[in-house]
Amino acid sequence: MNQTSPAPILVFDLDGTLADTARDLIATLNVLLTREGLPTVAPAAARDLVGAGAQALIERGFALHDAPLPPERIQPMVADFLAHYEAHIADETCLFPGARAALDRFREAGFRLAICTNKPERLARLLIDRLAVADRFDAICGRGSFPVHKPDPQMLHLTVAAAGGDPARMIMVGDSRTDVDTARNAGAPVIAVDFGYTDTPVAVLGPDRIISHFDELWAAAQELLA
């Protein structure tokens, strides 16, 4: 690979793509529900609840019990959620099988790697550090890193620029409509994992490739770059 030109880059979503965060996110939601005298929800509900940020998770969780929140209560509850979640961010969260080995393979091959998530940047960095893979990434960008967030294509373009990757050879890797739409809006190919958090099967979303395990990522990326 010519080291004088920008390297190809893989840009990963975080929740439901690289990391299985559902149990810690749902556990934090359940703290709020219990405080309000409402039933808790099971981690299996993550596919329908997780993926659009803390506020949406809270609103969806309360809506399950026909308990919509008054507007003035939403932001204080989001603050409570984030504080509790930060303290328990990696109690049960782990990388999906094969993710660490896949990151290492791409790094050894000269790829740039980045994270582009709608999770607040501070929490994304904390989680990646706790999962002991922070050194694999050239950029970790989240909500607050830039004036925009996914699915705005600028979020992806700015992440690639921060990582020093080649925008003509970038691939998005995600698990949801938001990730597919971000890639499409940015004119980039997208690989979807089918084990993440989405209430719509990823095949319906029309990604360029679908993988069921990180062992399949190398071949999928090589096909798209070819």
Distance CA 107, CA 91 (A): 27
Four-residue CA torsion sign, 207, 17, 133, 137: positive
208 annotated active-site: no
**Parallel, antiparallel or unpaired: strands 94-95 and 19-20:** antiparallel
Residues 6+ apart with CB under 8 A from 184: 190
Taking alpha carbons only, the member of 114, 136, 131 closest to residue 21 is 131
Here the tokens at position 64 are: 């399950």
Please name the residues in contact with 44: beta carbons below 8 A apart, sequence gap of 6 or more: none
Q: DSSP secondary-structure letter at 17?
A: T
**C-alpha span between 99 and 119 (Å, rounded):** 19
116-to-2, 37, 195 alpha-carbon distances in Å: 25, 36, 18
Catalytic residues: 13
